[in-house]
Chain A
Amino acid sequence: MWSLSNIATSIDQWLNETFNPTLALIIEMLIAGVAVIGLFAMLGLILVIMERKVSAWIQIRLGPNRVGPKGMFQSLADTLKLLVKEGMTPGGADKLLFNVAPFVAMIVAMLLMAPIAFAKDFQLWDLNIGVLYITAVSSISVISILMAGWASNNKYSLLGAMRSGAQIVSYELSAGLAILAIVVLTGSLRISDIINAQADGWWIFKGHIPAIISFIIFIIAVTAETNRAPFDMAEAESELTAGFHTEYSGMKFALFFLAEYVNVFIVCAIGATLFLGGWMPFHIGNWEAFNHVMDYIPSSIWFFGKTFFLIFLIMWFRWTFPRLRIDQLLNLEWKYLLPISMFNLLLVTVIAILGWHF
């Protein structure tokens, strides 16, 4: 049957037959790097057009419909526009930090791609601490925002960056604890183990109450971590015009924009992997016949389907909710989400030890 892992395996075999192992490995790494960058660009294009279409649908508008069939090439046109715009650096800005910040945001987003399993046996790096790696690396992204805000020599940017610092650092705790609930159920930090543990049902069903609680907390926390509405305090266009990226123009702005969208994709991919089984088809216990039918749908479709469902959820939030105030945002995290997720972690541990899950 056609699958991404078959293609990957045949490329690997051909390279190893043609070149010596070291050279083959180097070529494979290059291919992987180019693939990540290509996926990055593709995601940027797709998610921008998707956001515009989703918002248009919610707002009873048509949305982009002029460039290409049904406006499909709109994001290509946007990219072209951003490419030819002048990338300005404001006077009095810290030039080095100002120009490096968008790249830091990009690099963090790219690093996060490594442990994600896009399909069955199709993963860049199945390291044994995959989940830990993701939580650790994702926390670097706040540095890029702080750098951008501080170096811009703009008070709106500074306020936005400070808000973002407070926000991302706080919400990471809840997101981490929500992730930990699934780690406790699985007993492993390795992404492939977590997915294989869901072969007889996804964790959100198998882990019942605590899994649902941690799923909800996870969705709220990652929405905040990616600076999306209703938690877009860092940008807050009605208060701070554009927050930390007020001074960024052209491609430098686009890199932040791209990093934000890729981050949304990544957190949704992680959410899909942990709670909805990643590439694992919809299986129910030991209903062999039903599970076998489900297996006919390619694993990559399962993965991207679930991920885009979560992305749609996060976009839906953005276009319907008003924005919180910064103190309410921190209250929500420290007074509600964190205690609940701590309690939930206790609950899930008890359930895992007593084996009260399916």
Chain B
Amino acid sequence: MFEEVGTTTEGDLIINVGPQHPATHGVLHLVITLNGETIKNVEPHLGYIHRSIEKMCESLTYRQFIYVTSRMDYLSAHINNHACAMCVEKGMQIEIPARAQVIRVLMDELTRIASHELWWGAMAMDLGAFTPFFHAFRERESINDIMEETCGARLTMNYMVPGGVMHDLHPNFQKRVKDFIQLYKSKIHEYDEMVTGNIIFQNRMKGVGIISPEDVLSYGCTGPVARGSGVSSDVRKLYPYEIYDKLQFDEVLETGCDSFARYMVRIREMQQSIRIIEQLIDNIPEGDFQAKTKAVLKLPKGEFYTKAETARGELGVYIVSEGGTTPYRIKFRSPGFSNLSALNHLVKGGKIGDLIAAMGTLDLVIPDIDR
């Protein structure tokens, strides 16, 4: 499964991309061995923003540690919180009120759209088109406004708590979400006109960064990266949590195995998320938004694992409890890390421009990889 590290010969060019580079989406450091413009090897170096989040979590209580996880994959903060809250609830065996479940799913799907919007703009920017970035932010901005009104934060939300959500929805919520859906539907054709249908864009994406379904499994890729190669991996479908099994939506699968397939998966996933939101927005059940829990939670002795589908793939939360108020050990299985491990496989033999295109379709968020 592991490829041999490329050997450097006379005349090879070693180029460092990152940690401060416009295309590394954070502080990723890539050591690239080039023969002319052709890539011989790519070695990702991590560790530039390591904050030992897992270690920090061990000294925080079960209510507190969830806040830290918003700082991991900051584009999927809600879903990170969600996965952690579910793990604690599993340990405590807390029943979640129906209203809280619906609110959680609504927030997750809004987060997914916001994340894919940002990815779409950043992806186009990686390929040298600057304008889509601003257009994507126009839509993302209205989601951020909804988030701000609901939980006071625009990026690192801390809304999901063990037992439900922190407080009830803002009275404007339904109207704002409906407005957003209207806005989104009136703008989505611009995306296709500006980027998807562009001949240069298609030439840059098709046949670039190919990964076979077998390699997807052996590298442990999840999320849109796996689904772009036709591998079914949607946690929402395979291991439904909350109310996902009662909702009508499709798992988006593409069979191209290339960058364009991964691109199309995300574009179509946004539409599926809109579909989910449309089903829920008029049917938010009345009732409590949080189950009654104690102020200080104590998990029974044992090991607990839950997973959720973030915008980037499968996020696993593994808690080992010794019965105290803080976890004994926490481990996150982050989607970005496994997806990044396939990078060398994706781009070897391609041109340096392909590296940027293929890396863009992995949708890397560095704090998610480098916790």
Which residue numbers of A lie inside 8 Å of B, CB to CB? 55, 58-61, 155-156, 159, 163, 229-230, 232, 236-241, 319-328
Q: Is the CB of B15 within 8 A of A155?
A: yes
Q: Is the CB of B200 within 8 A of A322?
A: yes
Q: Is the CB of A238 within 8 A of B130?
A: no
Contact A322:B124 (CB < 8 A) given known A59-B135, A239-B23, A241-B21:
yes
* Contact of B240 with A by CB under 8 A: no
Q: Is the CB of B128 within 8 A of A325?
A: no
Bound state CA distance, A319 and B354, in angstroms? Answer: 21
Q: Is the CB of B135 within 8 A of A322?
A: no
Which residues of B90-132 have CB atoms within 8 Å of chain A's CB atoms? 124-131
Closest partner residue, chain B, to A230 (CB atom): B200
Bound state CA distance, A128 and B130, in angstroms? Answer: 43
Bound state CA distance, A300 and B55, in angstroms? Answer: 71
Bound state CA distance, A159 and B39, in angstroms? Answer: 13
Whole-angstrom distance between the Cβ of B12 and the nearest chain A Cβ: 11
* Chain B residues whose CB sits within 8 angstroms of the CB of A156 once the complex forms: 15
* Chain A residues whose CB sits within 8 angstroms of the CB of B124 once the complex forms: 322
Q: Is the CB of B129 within 8 A of A61?
A: no
Q: Is the CB of A320 within 8 A of B129?
A: yes
- The residue among A55, A321, A326 with the most chain B CB atoms within 10 A of its own CB is A321
Q: Is the CB of B37 within 8 A of A159?
A: yes
Bound state CA distance, A163 and B34, in angstroms? Answer: 14
* Contact of B60 with A by CB under 8 A: no
Q: Tell me the count of chain B residues lying within 8 A, CB to CB, of chain A.
A: 32
Closest partner residue, chain B, to A229 (CB atom): B128
Contact A322:B195 (CB < 8 A) given known A238-B23, A239-B23, A241-B21:
yes
* Chain A residues whose CB sits within 8 angstroms of the CB of B126 once the complex forms: 238
Q: Is the CB of A239 within 8 A of B352?
A: yes
Bound state CA distance, A226 and B129, in angstroms? Answer: 18
Bound state CA distance, A153 and B23, in angstroms? Answer: 22
Whole-angstrom distance between the Cβ of A334 and the nearest chain B Cβ: 16
Q: Is the CB of A322 within 8 A of B22?
A: no
Q: Is the CB of A238 within 8 A of B127?
A: yes
* Chain A residues whose CB sits within 8 angstroms of the CB of B194 once the complex forms: 320
* Chain A residues whose CB sits within 8 angstroms of the CB of B195 once the complex forms: 322
* Chain B residues whose CB sits within 8 angstroms of the CB of A319 once the complex forms: 130-131
Q: Is the CB of B22 within 8 A of A241?
A: yes
* Chain B residues whose CB sits within 8 angstroms of the CB of A236 once the complex forms: 128, 353
Contact residue among A58, A59, A237 (Cβ-Cβ distance under 8 Å from B22): A237
Beyond the given A239-B23, A323-B129, please list 17 additional residue pairs across the A-B interface where CB-CB is below 8 A: A55-B131, A59-B135, A155-B13, A155-B15, A159-B34, A159-B37, A232-B128, A238-B125, A320-B131, A321-B200, A322-B127, A322-B129, A322-B195, A323-B127, A323-B353, A324-B204, A326-B351
What are 12 contact pairs spanning A and B, CB under 8 A? Answer: A59-B131, A159-B34, A159-B352, A237-B128, A238-B127, A239-B23, A320-B129, A322-B127, A322-B195, A323-B129, A326-B351, A327-B351
Q: Is the CB of B135 within 8 A of A60?
A: yes
Contact A324:B203 (CB < 8 A) given known A232-B128, A236-B128:
yes
User: Which 3 A-B pairs have CB atoms at the shortest separation, nearest pair first?
Assistant: A323-B128, A322-B127, A59-B134
